[in-house]
Amino acid sequence: MSTPSSSDPAAAFLADWAEHTRFGAVEGTNGVERQAASEADGEQRKWFAALLESHGFTVHRDAIGNQFGLLELVPGAPYVLTGSHMDSQPTAGRFDGAYGVMASAHACFRVADELRADPSRARCNLAIVNWFNEEGSRFKPSMMGSSVFTGKLPLADALATRDPRGVSVESALDALGERGDFAGLDVASYAEIHVQQGRSMEEEGVTIGLVNATWAAHKFEFRVRGAQAHSGATAMPDRRDAMLGAARLVVAARELVDEFEPGALHTACGELNAYPNSPVVVASEVQLLLDLRSPSAEVIRAAHASLMSTVERVQREDRVDIEIVAEHSWDQNPYPEAGLELAREVAAELGLPHDRVMTVAGHDSTNMKDAVPTVMLFVPSVDGISHNLDEFTRDEDLVAGLQQMTGVVRRLAAGALAASGATA
Ligand code: HGY
Ligand code: MN
Ligand code: MN
């Protein structure tokens, strides 16, 4: 673990980075499995808390398990908040989210040392955050911790959410000792860095992505209901096959893409649970999660309408009932220009190739940008591989992102973009 006296910031970061990847490491691969509030997530949180404390930060947890490291340099001043998430998808890459938390921490360590040496430059305090359950794989919806923090999701609803085995968020967090009562952080500004999870930056030779907008997303959790029956004996016209209804929706999601210009719509069904899921039985119930993404709000609306007409047709023709059990969506909308300009100036000063880029995936900053002045940054992903054990970003890009983040935090701590009391 790095110490406050580490003199080479890049080497100190890479050493801690190498150490952090052992939590939830999937044997024989370079990836991790560290779903929200799992044992591996809990172990990593303990290690991360010790890292923050060793650099003089005080560690707190709020009621939804967001983990904060705080350093007060200017008594009573608001905080520059920076971070991302350390939870992962099943059998996933080691960079998604965790890179942002570790780069934020090391950027803050460096700026903290500078401001301790010259306190007259400090206008804000420093806070690092490890948001709870960004991925939404074990507990839906995604971006849970930042949604509760920004008031978009009621705390009670989040705590009551259960994983497929019936374990609630509340009891999973309690089992790890990761549910706290910290509240009332006065946030001046927020910054996050993440791997791109696409390949345009690598192809265009861009080292620092200045995220200027997010794609729109609409996720549907459907429940398809039919009737349980013998898969051999039941006459075909008598069947109400929930698996068939679900399969029609899976195929419809792919066919929707062809209704629009190439690249205008991404769709997938990533989760499918059938009951009773047994040989020789026609399924009575299937739950599936269908995900629509587009850079155009208009395309999302049109795709939504087309999907609903498919739902009507499948119910009629296949004699199944289809219900929307839950939805999670966000609009196509911009990140603040002032944050983009600040990040552009830092990249130019550092001589790092940079350009504006949209984010296709959701991030905790998708929530935070609606509450406080926000900067969102990307570093390249090799071949755009993501949510996969082989996700990869080169060390030189990790270090460039750390330098960029350090420059951004330095300016934010000196009062750039500051808004006080925007988030409680
Ligand atoms: O894009 C997503 O849905 C996830 O929250 N990153
Ligand atoms: Mn992520
Ligand atoms: Mn992810």
Domain residue spans of the chain:
9-215+333-423, 216-330
263-272 pLDDT, tens per residue? 999 999 999 9
Distances (CA, A) of 312 to 23, 259, 265: 46, 18, 22
123-147 pLDDT, tens per residue? 999 999 999 999 999 999 999 999 9
- Domain at 9-215+333-423: CATH code: 3.40.630.10
What's at 342, amino acid-wise? L
Closest ligand (CA of 328):
1
Whole-number average pLDDT of the chain? 96
State the pLDDT confidence band at 85, using cuts at 50, 70 and 90: very high
356-405 pLDDT, tens per residue? 999 999 999 999 999 999 999 999 999 999 999 999 999 999 999 999 99
Pocket test for ligand 1, best of 87, 88, 131, 134 (most atoms within 8 A of CB): 134
Q: Whose CA is nearest to atom 4 of ligand 1?
A: 362
Structure confidence at residue 5 (pLDDT): 53
The token duo for 77 is 């001043």
In the predicted structure, residue 49 carries a pLDDT above the cut 80:
yes
In the predicted structure, residue 47 carries a pLDDT above the cut 50:
yes
Mean pLDDT calculated for residue range 229-253: 98
Å from CA of 165 to ligand 2 middle:
24
Could you confirm whether domain 216-330 is CATH 3.30.565.10?
A: no
Structure confidence at residue 423 (pLDDT): 47
Pocket test for ligand 1, best of 196, 266, 363 (most atoms within 8 A of CB): 363
Å from CA of 95 to ligand 3 middle:
9
Mean pLDDT calculated for residue range 314-332: 97
Instruction: Cite the annotated binding site for Zn(2+) by residue number.
Output: 85, 96, 135, 194, 387
- Is 319 buried (19+), middle (13-18) or exposed (0-12) by CB count in 10 A? middle
Å from CA of 136 to ligand 3 middle:
9
In the predicted structure, residue 159 carries a pLDDT above the cut 70:
yes
201-214 pLDDT, tens per residue? 999 999 999 999 99
The CA-CA-CA angle for residues 305, 307, 308, to 5°, reads: 65
In the predicted structure, residue 193 carries a pLDDT above the cut 70:
yes
What's at 246, amino acid-wise? A
The ligand 1 atom nearest the CA atom of 143: 5
Q: Whose CA is nearest to atom 6 of ligand 1?
A: 362
CA 121 – CA 137 distance, rounded (Å): 42
Structure confidence at residue 418 (pLDDT): 86
Structure confidence at residue 421 (pLDDT): 46
Structure confidence at residue 424 (pLDDT): 40
Q: Whose CA is nearest to atom 3 of ligand 1?
A: 362
In terms of DSSP H, where are the helices of 295-394?
Answer: 297-318, 337-350, 364-368
252-294 pLDDT, tens per residue? 999 999 999 999 999 999 999 999 999 999 999 999 999 999 9
Instruction: Cite the annotated binding site by residue number.
Output: 85, 96, 135, 194, 387
Structure confidence at residue 4 (pLDDT): 61
State the pLDDT confidence band at 36, using cuts at 50, 70 and 90: very high
Structure confidence at residue 215 (pLDDT): 98
DSSP per residue over 7-42, as a string?
--HHHHHHHHHHHHTTTTBPTTSS-B---TTSHHHH
High-pLDDT (> 70) share of the chain, %: 98
Phi and psi at residue 32, to the nearest 5° = -135, 160
In the predicted structure, residue 35 carries a pLDDT above the cut 50:
yes
Q: Whose CA is nearest to atom 2 of ligand 1?
A: 362
Å from CA of 276 to ligand 3 middle:
30
86-96 pLDDT, tens per residue? 999 999 999 99
In the predicted structure, residue 422 carries a pLDDT above the cut 80:
no
State the pLDDT confidence band at 3, using cuts at 50, 70 and 90: low
**CA torsion sign, 23 to 28 to 30 to 33?**
negative
Å from CA of 380 to ligand 2 middle:
14
Coil, strand or helix: which one is 326? strand
State the pLDDT confidence band at 1, using cuts at 50, 70 and 90: confident
Mean pLDDT calculated for residue range 222-242: 98
